[in-house]
Amino acid sequence: MTISNSEIQIELKIQRGIRQAEDQLVIAIQDALDKTKYGNLEESQFRNLVRVADTTDSTEVIKNFLLYQVGREDKWGRGEGSLANRIIHDIDKTLKTAAENIGKSVNRKNINSIWLELIRRYLGYGARYLMYKNKIKNPKSR
């Protein structure tokens, strides 16, 4: 199957839109980690969520895994004001809206692949920022 020049141009515009949304993603996940309640969350636990996001094409699977983690232990927080709740909210609202805006810019109705890429980046930036937060909170632990 040959990819047309217009399809390549659309894909390039989508990638540019995703890159332009990166500041928003970084700010959103840092804000979530700074302003929500959660327990002694380890980087490896956050990276497990990143791995799930990297291996699925379903936004619901990502949220389901996070809810599973919340059910197992309180490290993600629980209820209103929790990190888990904020991440799910960001996925459903902030990231989906950004994906819809990028999709509209190229007349694409199916935004799932755009939305997933934004989620993956958001969570990846979160894993990095959590490493930083844990390191400054407990500098002798590494």
The pTM of this model reads 0.92
| CB-CB neighbours of 109 under 10 Å | 7
Residue 26 exposure: Cα atoms within 13 Å on the Cβ side: 8
Specify the residue for token string 């007349």: 107
CA distance 64 to 51: 14
The 3-state DSSP class for residue 142 equals coil
The confidence score (pLDDT) of residue 2 equals: 74
Largest interatomic CA distance in the chain:
55
pLDDT tens per residue, range 40-74: 999 999 999 999 999 999 999 999 999 999 999 99
